[in-house]
């Protein structure tokens, strides 16, 4: 998947930096006081958690694909989901200590389900891209 001459710096900027930025963005957003102007749509906040952690799961998988264990996809999928889920749990614990914020188990569930879906969709998309029948139109 990676060219032999690819520099470590390029791998860092393309695969690891987006993951770090996403984690920082989640942390910063969780450090701010809760918003009172959320759209009045049922479960909208859970949808936001789902999407954010689907993306985070994908970013973990992309980053982990650069490691020597990149050929063990079952393990990569597991640690990607586990990493995103554990980050989501730590984020809820962090929110517990932020004034006007609170921790919710439903948010942890949305984070976990989002990370599972994101990782599996990205993995399946990668398989589809590699299949001979996915030729361009």
Task: Note the pTM of the prediction, 2 decimals.
Answer: 0.83
Measured from the Cβ of residue 109, the count of other Cβ atoms closer than 10 Å reads: 14
> Is residue 40 very low, low, confident or very high in pLDDT (cuts 50, 70, 90)?
low
> Is residue 33 very low, low, confident or very high in pLDDT (cuts 50, 70, 90)?
confident
Question: What is the predicted pLDDT for the residue at 41?
Answer: 65
**Cα–Cα distance measured from residue 130 to residue 137, given in angstroms and rounded to the nearest whole number:** 15
User: Which comes out higher in pLDDT, residue 89 or 41?
Assistant: 89
Q: The tokens of 111 are what?
A: 């984070």
CB-count exposure of residue 90 (10 Å: 0-12, 13-18, 19+) = middle
Mean pLDDT of the chain: 88
Question: What is the predicted pLDDT for the residue at 49?
Answer: 95
pLDDT digit string, tens, across residues 73-132: 899 999 999 999 999 999 999 999 998 888 899 999 999 999 999 999 999 988 777 767
Angle, nearest 10°, between helix axes 73-96 and 105-130?
150
Between vectors from CA 130 to CA 125 and to CA 131, what angle results, nearest 5°? Answer: 100
Question: Which residue in 108, 110, 49, 54 sits closest to 80, CA to CA?
Answer: 54
Instruction: Write out 110-124 in H/E/C secondary structure.
Output: HHHHHHHHHHHHHHH
Percent above pLDDT 70 for the chain: 85
* Rg, Å, the chain Cα set: 17
> Is the pLDDT at 137 greater than 50, yes or no?
no
> Is the pLDDT at 2 greater than 60, yes or no?
no
């Amino acid at each position: 998947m990676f060219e032999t001459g690819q520099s470590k710096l390029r791998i860092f900027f393309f695969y690891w930096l987006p993951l770090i930025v996403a984690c920082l963005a989640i942390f910063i957003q969780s450090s701010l006081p809760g918003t009172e102007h959320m759209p009045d749509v049922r479960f909208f906040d859970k949808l936001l958690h789902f999407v954010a952690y689907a993306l985070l799961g994908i970013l973990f998988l992309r980053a982990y694909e650069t490691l020597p264990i990149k050929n063990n996809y079952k393990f990569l999928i597991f640690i990607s989901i586990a990493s995103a889920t554990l980050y989501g749990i730590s984020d809820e614990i962090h929110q517990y200590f932020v004034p006007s914020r609170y921790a919710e188990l439903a948010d942890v569930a949305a984070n976990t389900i989002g990370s599972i879906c994101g990782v599996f969709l990205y993995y399946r998309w990668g398989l589809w891209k590699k299949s001979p029948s996915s030729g361009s139109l």
